[in-house]
Homo-oligomer: A and B are copies of this chain.
Amino acid sequence: MSIKVGFIGLGAMGYPIAENLAAQFDLAVWNRTRSKAEPLAAKGARIVDSPADAARESEIVVTMVANDAALESVVAGDGGIARALAFGAVHLSMSTVAPATIRKLAQVHRDAGSILVASPVFGRPDAAAAKKLWVCTSGPGAAKEKAKPVLDAVGQGTLDFGERVDAANVVKISGNFLLAAAIEAMGEAFAMVEKLGIDRAAVANAISQTLFACPAYKGYGAAIANKRHSPAGFGLALGLKDVELVLKTAHEVDAPMPTASLLRDRFLHALAMGRGELDWSAIALGAREDAGLKN
Contact of A249 among B159, B196, B206 (CB under 8 A): B196
Contact A171-B198, Cβ < 8 Å, known A178-B189, A258-B188, A273-B292: yes
The answer to whether B192 and A246 touch across the interface, beta carbons within 8 angstroms, is yes
Interface residues of A in 262-286 (CB under 8 A from B): 262, 264-266, 268-269, 271-274
Q: Provide the main secondary structure of the chain A interface.
A: helix
Whether A130 is near chain B, meaning CB under 8 Å from some CB there, is: no
**Interface window among A104-112, A213-221, A226-234:** A213-221
A76 within 8 A of B: no
Segment touching B, from A20-28, A81-89, A144-152, A160-168? A160-168
Contact B209 A159 (CB under 8 A): yes
- Provide a sorted-by-A list of 5 A–B residue pairs whose CB atoms are within 8 angstroms: A170-B198, A175-B206, A177-B188, A189-B246, A254-B269
The answer to whether the Cβ of A182 comes within 8 Å of any Cβ in the partner chain is yes
Confirm or deny: A129 has a beta carbon within 8 angstroms of a beta carbon on chain B.
no
Query: How many copies altogether?
Result: 4
Which of chain B's residues have a CB closer than 8 A to the CB of A49? none
| A255 B182 Cβ-Cβ under 8 A | no
**Contacting pair A199 B162 (CB below 8 A):** yes
Task: Determine the chain B residues whose CB is within 8 A of the CB of A171 once the complex forms.
Answer: 193, 198, 203, 206-207
- Residue A185 contacts which of B181, B210, B268 (CB distance < 8 angstroms)? B181
A160: chain B residues at CB < 8 Å are: 202
A253 & B186 in contact (Cβ 8 Å cutoff): no
Q: Is the CB of A265 within 8 A of B258?
A: yes
A222 at the interface (CB under 8 A from B): no
Q: How far is the CA of A123 from the CA of B211 in the complex (A)?
A: 8
Known A161-B206, A256-B269; further 11 A-B contacts with Cβ < 8 A: A164-B197, A175-B206, A175-B211, A178-B212, A185-B259, A212-B214, A251-B268, A253-B291, A258-B261, A261-B264, A272-B290
